Structure 1
Amino acid sequence: MSTQPAPADQATRPDDHDDVAWREGFKTGLPTLFGIAAWGLVVGIAMVKAGLSIPQALGMTLLVFAGSAQLASLPLIVASAPVWVIFATALVVNLRFVIFSALLAPHFAHLPWRQRFALGYVSGDMTVALFLQRFPDERPAPGKLSYLKGLMYPNWVAWQVGSIAGIFLGSAVPPQWGLGFAGTLAIICITVPLIVNKAALCGVLVAGTVAVLAAGLPYKLGLLAAVVIGMITAMVVEETLEKLKGRP
């Protein structure tokens, strides 16, 4: 019977499927799953109230998996906006995932592109943040990939369960509430988590003001303008505050 030890590089590969690490990731993300499911429920209701059929709504939640982008695109779809406007709005809303990808890339650059693509699809704001808290160092570590999966997979399931429930329960919401009711709840869900500092607060306030002032623009372009101007405002304020902190 051979007693040769496993090669050192194999023993320290960060993508070892470690059950303990997966359970640790699951336990870390568990407190967030109820909120994710509730957020998905709101988006599911909003899709149905926007006029999407059940198959269309199911396809959107399974393929897109981006609540804020889905909600941002719904008023544009209702208004029969050009496809490029819908895609541009969704792209701007989801630009933060470019940053998330850049942060995760050094940890998993060794994985095949198909696997990295799949992980990118199931990634979420909270899961990426929790992972980086646990593994701030980019060096290989046992169980790193399993920990990430323990965060991301339950998060994806919670979202889909909530969203699909919202799709099928959407018809039970009183018609007079309409998309406005679901949209109001959704906007609250979007904006509250974003207000993490003064820069974010300024961005949210400016975006809200622009959205109201530009509400009359065709194809709901006021929404796109509000998102872009709000993001620029937040970045300018953050940079200004950093410069002020650096002054003697």
Structure 2
Amino acid sequence: MTESSSTASVPCVAAHHEPSWREGLKTGMPSLFGIGAWGLVVGIAMIKSGLTIPQALGMTLVVFAGSAQLAALPLIAADAPIWVIFATALVVNLRFVIFSALLAPHFSHLPWRQRLMLGYVAGDMTVALFLQKYPSEAPQVGKLSYLKGLLYPNWASWQIGSIAGIFLGSTVPPEWGLSFAGTLAIICVMIPLMIGRPALCGVLVAGAISVLAAGLPYKLGLLLAVLVGMLTAMLIEETAEKWRSKRG
């Protein structure tokens, strides 16, 4: 058997490599409760923002992105123009373009429909855990099963929590301060991502811009803060790379 034929056979074996699937499930298990709790908060927030139950169910199943949903909900409640809502959600979710680029070399051999499905169920923590396990792009038995063991339970946990929140939303007292709970949920997800100087500076700049631009109509201050924060982080990262290359 040649090296190329051996490599080509790896995906077929990986697709049925059950130990890898169970390993992925075990690795992602500690985060499932938190993901479900965050989904519960977002589900309740959708109902509290004025969405009907069918609309909220459609949003959680189609969008599957808590940060984008929480960013879009105040705009929907404020009757903001549709382009503002879509632009805000798009900018907030631009990090998934980076995630897809990081996963692409590992799974470029798969059919596009399968890659599209994996991209739909991918999340921040699951992609990070996969890349921690498989930093190399070289084909390995069990890669795909390990990724599925991370992604599918994560997706199910979110949907169960979110759907429960949707149906419970009308019964939860407003004095529980769910908007503050949603803010805490976002912070809990954001803190692990603030590793390194570029990300930290980007968050600090985005926070400052969001405060200074809070008075802009249609919550455009949020969109501006995200854009400026991302550009700041990219600029600092690029500057640091140039400085390291000169030193090297």
**Where does residue 75 of structure 1 map in the other structure?**
74
- Contact between 2:7 and 2:139, CA under 8 Å: does it hold in 1? no
Instruction: Call closer, same or farther: CA 1:114–1:247 in 2, change over 3 Å.
Output: closer
- Contact between 2:38 and 2:182, CA under 8 Å: does it hold in 1? no
Instruction: Give runs of aligned pairs for residues 91-110 of structure 1, distance below 5 A.
Output: 91-110=90-109
Could you tell me how far apart the structure 2 residues matched to 1:203 and 1:242 are?
16
Instruction: Call closer, same or farther: CA 1:182–1:50 in 2, change over 3 Å.
Output: farther
Could you tell me how far apart the structure 1 residues matched to 2:177 and 2:26 are?
37
- Letter of the 1:203 partner, please give it: G
Could you tell me how far apart the structure 2 residues matched to 1:177 and 1:212 are?
25
Deviation for aligned residue 1:162: 1.3
Unaligned runs of 5+ in 1: 1-6
Could you tell me how far apart the structure 2 residues matched to 1:184 and 1:45 are?
13
**Where does residue 58 of structure 1 map in the other structure?**
57
Q: Percent identity?
A: 73
- Corresponding position: 1:188 with 2:187: yes
**Where does residue 204 of structure 1 map in the other structure?**
203
Could you tell me how far apart the structure 1 residues matched to 2:41 and 2:110 are?
35
Instruction: Call closer, same or farther: CA 1:189–1:46 in 2, change over 3 Å.
Output: farther
Could you tell me how far apart the structure 1 residues matched to 2:194 and 2:110 are?
34
Instruction: Call closer, same or farther: CA 1:209–1:145 in 2, change over 3 Å.
Output: same
**Where does residue 232 of structure 1 map in the other structure?**
231
Instruction: Call closer, same or farther: CA 1:8–1:206 in 2, change over 3 Å.
Output: closer
**CA deviations over 1:9-59 (Å, ceiling 9, x no partner):** 665336431111111111111111112112212211211111111211111
**Where does residue 148 of structure 1 map in the other structure?**
147
Pick the structure with more helix per residue: 2
Q: TM-score, normalised by structure 2?
A: 0.89
Could you tell me how far apart the structure 1 residues matched to 2:239 and 2:6 are?
48
- Contact between 2:11 and 2:144, CA under 8 Å: does it hold in 1? no
**Where does residue 12 of structure 1 map in the other structure?**
10
